[in-house]
Chains A and B, each alone.
Chain A
């Protein structure tokens, strides 16, 4: 009896030693990987900052506020404002279009529909994510753009264009005709492209909302819609914000599909029906022949750095938002409920 205990103990000790070693190995390897990742980011920024220094030395802050982008040798002048505005506007408008649809889809998949419809819808949304962006671009140029140019945009100009304040966004094209590529079409394409990722994450988030919450709301006499509004959505809010930011990241960096439909024009206009330009699009269009002798290449690399800064600001903002809404939510459900649905808190603790 005693000997059995001691062998069991010895075995347990060996196992513990082994698991201690495994723990250490695991910790070291994860540390190395994450440090490597940080190192990579620092390396990229360091490489770009040399060029950025050259550019800011030549143009100062005019590089950010300037509207001229002239790569002609001998009269080089680089201002990034049209690209910054184009990038932010297309991404923001795409998110504005995509998030309500994505949340509605997530709710539909989790709360409303059941059986075959849910499966079919889920597969189709995931399929959207598998389509390469260049295919979206082609589809945009040859199918979406002509329809938008001839029908959708004139219609919106005649209806929404008359509404005060937001009407300016839907004013007519500066040339007075069709656009042949504009910010609006690019935003719609982007919205379709970010839809799957926002939907997928939102769906997971809505799925982990505890059943008790819903049932409690229903028991109090709430309709299904009221239960969603009062119990499900507040609980899932932080996750949906996270999903949105993930989508925004995708939208900010999307290159080829945008370059194909946005018109690649330098002007900054109030109306979305004019051509625009984004940072990834101009880099993709111009890097091939950007000569190393002039400032053109440095200007493009500096644009890349600015895009990274924009993405960083967005990511930090999203973390702030998630933390805030998590704090708001944590006041609502009781303590034990929270720990039950947030196992990651236990692991980290």
Chain B
């Protein structure tokens, strides 16, 4: 009897809590709806796309909720292609892609315009696991292309030795590890190899997935990372942000327009984006950037947002604009601690001025004062 009473009491207590919580939630939403009052509370959004910036985006979404508590942003890292398709079919509010929209993609959007905002910069690094080699190796484009073409098969090949005088290279076979899944990382790396080596461009080409002449495929950066660290003499390409957290050797790379070997660092990758011009076109890229100190295999990643947001409820459209503004300002300062490279100031400012293009019907949406002063 006594036990029953206590149990019932627990239920009543729990129900009370739920009611109070619900009431608070409603109050918050009402505050958001009124807008003009104390401060805008935001509204939920959904997005899908690139996996590469996912860690940054997830951090941003969480931190942004401190500015607009009701801005629950649900992002699915399903890959750039999936993000573009979901945005086309209107199942998400915004997309994200590691590559600029291609002509075919833009055609598929029909009359709808999509604004592309660069958010963070990434770089592909050449990582390796060679016994006894402790200092960073130097590599150039033609040599890397020949390694991935299977023409250079051992670590002490004269082509590698020539670039690394003074390094004792073992007579060990090179085991190539590449991505097995389609990915923006592969797109960037193969695009760069195509710029560097006519043979590569002719024989393999550039895409999110290619027919690799040699090597083993791993799934994701983790798969390639595991492949390299598990296999003696292995080499492959991974995202810089992934590579810095592993114990792998990382090469300094020289692009065809440069005379210096540049080590991939967030600063060098950031610098490469100095030449990024807005608006983004299908051919936009920052490979072999002429900016000083630039790492040659760098690339921007983009948020894709419909230019006319009137298909969304007004509060959601407002939240979208607020979030992009916040990401391009406060958000940027959080990027480096996650081992990503932030936008250089000129690109950041350019991207911010693109915000004017986002409209609700005919009306430009201005970021709310809360965000401006956050």
Contact = CB atoms under 8 A, between A and B. Distances in A.
A243 interface: no
The SS class assigned to the A binding surface is loop
Given A289-B79, A291-B81, A72 B182 contact: no
Contacts of B205: 72, 74-75
Interface of A: 68-75, 77, 141-142, 145-146, 149, 175-181, 259-260, 263-266, 275, 277, 281, 284-286, 288-293
Interface string B201-229: 00011111111101111110001001100
A146 B234 CA distance: 13
A261 B219 CA distance: 10
Contacts of B80: 289
Interface of B: 78-82, 85, 104, 108, 153, 172-175, 177, 180-183, 204-212, 214-219, 223, 226-227, 230-234
A69 B211 contact: yes
B180 A285 contact: yes
14 contacts: A70-B211, A72-B207, A74-B205, A141-B230, A142-B230, A177-B173, A177-B233, A180-B177, A180-B231, A181-B216, A181-B227, A263-B217, A264-B219, A285-B182
Contacts of A292: 85
B175 A177 contact: yes
Given A68-B211, A73-B207, A177 B223 contact: no
Given A288-B78, A289-B80, A70 B230 contact: no
Contacts, number: 110
Overall SS of chain B's interface: loop
A180 B216 contact: yes
A288 B177 contact: no
B75 to A, nearest CB: 15
Contacts of B227: 180-181
A286 B209 contact: yes
A99 B55 CA distance: 45
A290 B81 contact: yes
Contact of A266 (B104, B208, B212): B212
Contacts of A285: 180-182, 217, 219
Contacts of A149: 230-231
Contacts of B231: 149, 177-180
A302 to B, nearest CB: 17
B216 A72 contact: no
B207 A145 contact: no
A264 B223 CA distance: 11
A264 to B, nearest CB: 3
Task: List the 4 closest pairs (A to B, CB-CB), nearest first.
Answer: A264-B217, A289-B182, A180-B231, A264-B180
Given A177-B233, A180-B175, A259-B180, A289 B81 contact: yes
A288 B230 contact: no
Nearest to B187: A289
Contacts of A288: 78-79, 81-82, 181-182
Contact of A72 (B108, B153, B175, B211): B211
Contact of B210 (A72, A142, A180): A72
Nearest to A77: B211
B226 A141 contact: yes
Given A72-B211, A142-B226, A289-B183, 20 more contacts: A68-B211, A70-B211, A71-B209, A71-B210, A175-B173, A175-B175, A175-B214, A176-B173, A180-B175, A180-B230, A180-B234, A260-B223, A263-B216, A265-B212, A265-B215, A265-B217, A284-B219, A289-B80, A293-B104, A293-B108
A57 B96 CA distance: 34
A139 to B, nearest CB: 12
A286 B177 contact: no
B172 A177 contact: yes
Nearest to B108: A293
Contacts of A293: 104, 108
